[in-house]
Amino acid sequence: MPSLDGVTRLLDNVLVSRAATALVIATAIWLVFKVLRRFVTAKVEDNATRYRVRKAIGAITWGVIIVVCAAIFSDKLGSFALSLGVAGAGIAFALQEVIASAAGRVAILFGGFYNTGDRVQLGGIKGDVIDIGILRTTIMEVGDWVKGDLFTGRVVRVANSFIFKEPVFNYSGDFGFLWDEITVPVKYGCDHREAKRILQAVADSVVGEFAPQAESEWAEMLKKYRVEHAQVTPMVSLVANDNWLEYTIRYVVPYTKRRTTKDQLFNALMDAIADSNGKLALGSATFHLVEATPLDVRVSDAR
């Protein structure tokens, strides 16, 4: 065991003394801001605001700790910077992925790739961004084995460096709507003009309410980007194929309402078809299934 004189000399060392002081002060600052964050966030009811307040307090906490530590070791910063410069090449090679992720965080912050709450596809993962850290983005996954844009329940953490390696798909960035469409097969023999009128009326009644807001947001897109004007009102188009008249209803929908909107559209279509008195009927393909001979019978016949 070290002697008492050795412990005393260690405690008298200026660098050790400053390190201990910095540790105690940093711990005290962290505890104070932790209590403050808990108190403040408890008073905020809105989830998005509470998240931003929590992240802001966390950033301020680390900022204060860094400033205090820099003040304590102010006369040692020159030699520390020199030592760090000598070891910089090795550190950069060993921590290249970490550095790339940290650089990705800066790019996300200033480049406008996405924000918390946006629906994105990043690194092959599609979902809603629920947190953006220094090194990783946390995503609540949607889709995969679940049909439609519904949560799977899996929380995925993707390295921020992926924004430099793969495309970033943002479903809700500058334009909070998506274009979606459904196809409706109609039997030959139906009045194709009446069928189109009925389908257009259904589309206008279900998704027409989204058009004004989408038009406003698209106007802002036109000011910001070089993009053509696009139709955001519901549109019905017709293609005739070998089996039936195929109508396509194209419309804009908020990115969080694709599944529920399709359900509303199809329910309204079924009601409209039932009320059309035969003017509108769905087309369908009929398949005849032939019963296969059991394997053991075929084997016995062969003998």
**Residues 90 and 128 both lie in one domain:** no
Rounded Cα distance between 273 and 185, Å, is 12
Band of pLDDT at residue 191, cut at 50, 70 and 90: confident
- Residue 121 CB contacts under 8 Å (≥ 6 apart), including other chains: 168, 169, 171
**Residues 22 and 86 both lie in one domain:** yes
Q: What is the structure's pLDDT at 87?
A: 54
Q: Report the chain's mean pLDDT, rounded to a whole number.
A: 78
| Beta strands 151-159 and 119-122, pairing class | unpaired
Q: What is the structure's pLDDT at 1?
A: 47
In a domain, 10, yes or no: yes
In a domain, 261, yes or no: yes
Helix (H) or strand (E) holding 238: strand 235-240
Closest by Cα among 178, 170, 180, 52 to 118: 170
Report the CATH number at residue 159.
2.30.30.60
- Residue 82 CB contacts under 8 Å (≥ 6 apart), including other chains: none
In the block, tokens 């998240």 appear at 51
Indicate if the pLDDT at residue 12 is higher than 60.
no
In a domain, 101, yes or no: no
Closest by Cα among 287, 286, 281 to 184: 281
Closest by Cα among 165, 162, 167, 126 to 144: 126
Band of pLDDT at residue 74, cut at 50, 70 and 90: low
Measured from the Cβ of residue 285, the count of other Cβ atoms closer than 10 Å reads 7
* Mean pLDDT across 64-92: 62
Which amino acid would we find at residue 148? Answer: G
**109 phi and psi angles, rounded to 5 deg:** -65, -45
How confident is the model over 78-89, as pLDDT tens digits? Answer: 555 555 555 555
- Domain holding 34, by residue range, is 4-94
